[in-house]
Amino acid sequence: MRGISAVALAIAGCSSAAAPPAPRIVESTRIIESTPKVRSCKPEAPVALVAELVPIDARRARLTVQATPTAAVDALELALVLPAEVTLLDGAPALRTGAIGAGESRTLAATLRLDGRAADVAAVARVPVDGVVMARAATVHLGAEPPWLRSHTYALPDGELAREVRP
Amino acid sequence: MIRASRGCVLHLGRLGRLGPVAALALALTACGDNGPDPDGDHDPADGGASASDAAANACLAEGATAEGTCRDGAVVRCVDGTRVETEDCGAGGACVVAAGGARCLGAEACAGVGPLGRCDGDLLWRCDGAPALTDCAAAGQVCGYIDDTAGYACVAAPAATPLVITGHVRWHDRALSPGMLAPPAAVPARGVMVSVLDSADTTLATVSTADDGSFTIRYAAPATAQVRVTAYSRSRATARPVRVRDASGYLHAQASPPFAAGATATVEILITEATGARAWNALDNMVRGMDVVRAHGVTTLSPLYVYWQAGSSTGSYYQSGDNSLHLDGDDGYDDVVALHEFGHYFQDEYSDSDNPGGAHDGSPADPRLAWGEGGATWIAIAIRGVPYYIDYAAGGGWSVELENRVHAASLTSSMSQNLSEWMVAEVMWDVSDGSADADADAMGPGTAPQVLAVLLGYLGGSHADRGRGGVDLVDWLDGWFLHHGNATCASMRTLLRDRYRFPYDFGGAAGPCP
């Protein structure tokens, strides 16, 4: 009897498709920055964003976003853009302040839970400049990384290099 | 437009070539006045031609056949064997004879052709001024690719490259509007490089796609060879010399699955967001910009090297020393940002700017910076025909409407005052928007070609320097009056002083405004 049970378990073990383990929300603390680029020539919102994501457990993480205007602004709005795969467990999804000076910071903190396999969460800072509401975003990827796209590199006859993908 | 030459609708212009007597005789024939017919039975034996004979004579008189012929930009054909119809192919159109008949091709037929032509089987499409369609097979030839200057042409059936592959390259575009990107939609990859390679990465043949994304490539390879078709993010045409590389300097490329040489005659390549469509969007924006520049008289375009890679955070900027245009990883679908940077390439190569650079946010700044940035933004919105600066990002990004908004200067300050780059773009849009004018600004009749004429013809050459030292809005305004005269003085005064509160003195080299 014991032998039959062992065989049955072995068959069950071989035939059941083991579900892939749910990816962790983030492997380790991750910091994403978005600031006015020194070399950039496009008009940019005069505000710097730093987002820090600290894992709590496999599915939860603490997100802290700091917005720091690089010039005095009349108002600042800081908001999270949360997709359906992410639940806000605590904290506010947005904050608004009045005028603040250059170098002063405002911080938004929230605890997030990843319900799907992967998602992108964005923090967006909006500031008015000369009548135009400009924005800056910092995007944090949660969960499984996108599938790796295999590529192949070589030189063309004129020496130009190419990185070729084959979906 | 089709005109029927029946009854007494005469084409005297055409008949006039025959001389007055013959023309009159033929005209009368065409009108059906065929002389006496004593018993009225239209019997030719009576000495008078029947009505059907008369009509047939009309076709004969004009040399019209059922298949049609081309004359003076029109199709002339005999319809129902009884009457002559003339179809005027219109401005920009052309009459072509191919596949056994004549037909009109409108200017719109060129939308999918491009500067290197297109093969449709062995029919050759060219649009070098007007559309032209040639049946290569009728001359015992095939449609094939010569090189990156001549493009597609009728060529002798090449014994050395017996294998042929046709197909399309497309990429997923996402249309940009304020606050959103549309869902992906496949669009043609215009003018991109396509090669056949063997398994050792040896290039066997290279062509460019037409503007409908189609390609025809002839090659030779042993029947046992494994080959593939690869599209590269590069336009090799001398009319559009641009390539897009990743941050490491590699062209983006996407290949078909490999197949046995000769086994496949059709290859379709679709580049998706996951496989790098944003790079192809950058390429297409540059192709679009170069087409506009070329259409305004610049015959030789300088090479442009674009860098884009997913996830990069280089910022978006143009570097004049090496004609490199860098797009931030976040700006792959940002057509306006890409074309704004193209505007800096335009200024650098064909016009003028003394932009000191540095961070800017649209608030009043050095007038040279305002000119450089605002002028580049005008190039972007003029190419798109939509008066919005848009920088898309997660959460929707941000945008500025440039038709109705007014970022005014100060009438009580000098012409050298700090200005908003938005004001420069707004003024140029108001001057150029012509029939697209939604805000009924004072400069109703101006057009984008007129603005470009000043950018190319005045600022692109030696010019005076007023206002702030270096190129600024004042210099462009001086050029406007020098190029287009003082007829717009009153409306420009209303636009500049009343609407934008800019104290331009109307004192350029064109002389004082009345």
Q: Closest-CA residue in chain B for A158?
A: B203
Q: Closest-CA residue in chain B for A81?
A: B395
| Domain shared by B351 and B429, yes or no | yes
Q: What per-residue confidence (pLDDT) applies to B81?
A: 83
Between B379 and B52, residue with greater pLDDT: B379
pLDDT at B56 over 50: yes
Q: Exposed, middle or buried by CB within 10 Å (0-12, 13-18, 19+), for A28?
A: exposed
End position of a domain, from candidates B275, B298, B328: B275
Q: Residue A73 in contact with residue A92, Cβ under 8 Å?
A: no
Q: What per-residue confidence (pLDDT) applies to B439?
A: 67
Q: Establish if B504 belongs to a structural domain.
A: no
Q: Closest-CA residue in chain A for B344?
A: A41
| pLDDT, tens digit (0-9, with 9 covering 90-100), for B312-348 | 988 999 999 999 999 999 999 999 999 999 999 999 9
| Domain shared by B150 and B168, yes or no | no
| pLDDT, tens digit (0-9, with 9 covering 90-100), for A122-132 | 999 999 999 89
Between B96 and A46, residue with greater pLDDT: A46
Q: CA B210, CA B269: separation in Å to the nearest integer?
A: 14
Contact B361 A165 (CB under 8 A): no
| Domain shared by B121 and B263, yes or no | no
pLDDT at B159 over 60: yes
* Percentage, residues of chain B above pLDDT 70: 88
Q: What is the mean pLDDT of residues A44-56?
A: 96
Q: Establish if B508 belongs to a structural domain.
A: no
Q: Residue B302 in contact with residue B323, Cβ under 8 Å?
A: yes
| Domain shared by B365 and B447, yes or no | yes
Q: What one-letter code names the amino acid at B48?
A: G
Q: Closest-CA residue in chain A for B326?
A: A40
| Domain shared by B398 and B341, yes or no | yes
| Domain shared by B269 and B343, yes or no | no
Nearest to B86 by CA among B99, B101, B69, B107: B69
| pLDDT, tens digit (0-9, with 9 covering 90-100), for B396-425 | 999 999 999 999 999 999 999 999 999 999
B252 backbone dihedrals φ, ψ, rounded to 5°: -75, 140
Backbone torsion region of residue B118, taken as left when φ is above 0, otherwise alpha when ψ lies between -120 and 50, otherwise beta? beta
Q: What is the mean pLDDT of residues B88-109?
A: 82
Pick from B331, B359, B376: CB nearest A36: B359
- Domain of residue B235, CATH code: 2.60.40.10
Residues of chain A in contact with residue B318, where contact means CB-CB under 8 angstroms, are: 41
| Domain shared by B392 and B452, yes or no | yes
Taking CA atoms, B201 is separated from A153, B23, B145, in Å, by 9, 67, 21
| Domain shared by B411 and B477, yes or no | yes
Q: Residue B360 in contact with residue B425, Cβ under 8 Å?
A: no
| Domain shared by B19 and B107, yes or no | no
The residues near A148 (Cβ < 8 Å, ≥ 6 apart) are: none
Residues of chain B in contact with residue A164, where contact means CB-CB under 8 angstroms, are: 230, 253-255
| Domain shared by B187 and B169, yes or no | yes
Q: CA B494, CA B485: separation in Å to the nearest integer?
A: 17
Q: Establish if B507 belongs to a structural domain.
A: no
Residue in B361, B369, B389, B423 to test binding to A, most A beta-carbons within 10 Å = B361
Q: What per-residue confidence (pLDDT) applies to B285?
A: 98
Residue in B194, B219, B250 to test binding to A, most A beta-carbons within 10 Å = B250
The interface predicted TM-score (ipTM) is 0.85
pLDDT at B510 over 60: yes
Pick from A37, A126, A153: CB nearest B315: A37
Residues of chain B in contact with residue A131, where contact means CB-CB under 8 angstroms, are: 405, 407
Quickly state the pLDDT bin for B80 (edges 50, 70, 90): confident
* Token couple for B244: 């897009």
**DSSP tag of B430:** H
Neighbour-count burial for A126-153, b at 16+ CB within 10 Å, e otherwise = bbebeebebbbbbbbbbbeeeeeeebee
pLDDT at B40 over 60: no
Quickly state the pLDDT bin for B44 (edges 50, 70, 90): very low
Q: Residue B384 in contact with residue B484, Cβ under 8 Å?
A: no
Between B487 and A7, residue with greater pLDDT: B487
For chain B, the domain total comes to 4
Pick from B203, B252, B340: CB nearest A42: B340
| Domain shared by B151 and B253, yes or no | no
Nearest to B475 by CA among B365, B368, B377: B368
Nearest to A25 by CA among A90, A138, A112: A112
End position of a domain, from candidates B112, B137, B157: B157
SS (H, E, C) B356-385: CCCCCCCCCECHHHHHHHHHHHHHHHHHHC
* Token couple for B181: 């990107």
Q: What one-letter code names the amino acid at B8?
A: C
- State the residue range of the domain holding B134: 95-157
Tell me what percent of chain A is helix, strand and coil, each rounded to the nearest 5: 10, 50, 40
Written as one string, the DSSP assignment of B101-128 is EEEEE-GGGGGGT-TT-EEETTEEEEEE
Quickly state the pLDDT bin for A19 (edges 50, 70, 90): low
Quickly state the pLDDT bin for B53 (edges 50, 70, 90): low
Q: CA B36, CA B185: separation in Å to the nearest integer?
A: 69
Mapped onto helix, strand or coil, the DSSP state of residue B177 is strand
Q: Establish if B509 belongs to a structural domain.
A: no
Contact A41 B317 (CB under 8 A): yes
Between B244 and B73, residue with greater pLDDT: B244
| pLDDT, tens digit (0-9, with 9 covering 90-100), for A87-131 | 999 999 999 999 999 999 999 999 999 999 999 999 999 999 998
Nearest to B448 by CA among B348, B343, B364, B363: B343
Q: What is the mean pLDDT of residues A74-93?
A: 96
Q: Which domains does chain A have, with CATH numbers?
A: 19-165 (2.60.40.1230)
| Domain shared by B118 and B76, yes or no | no
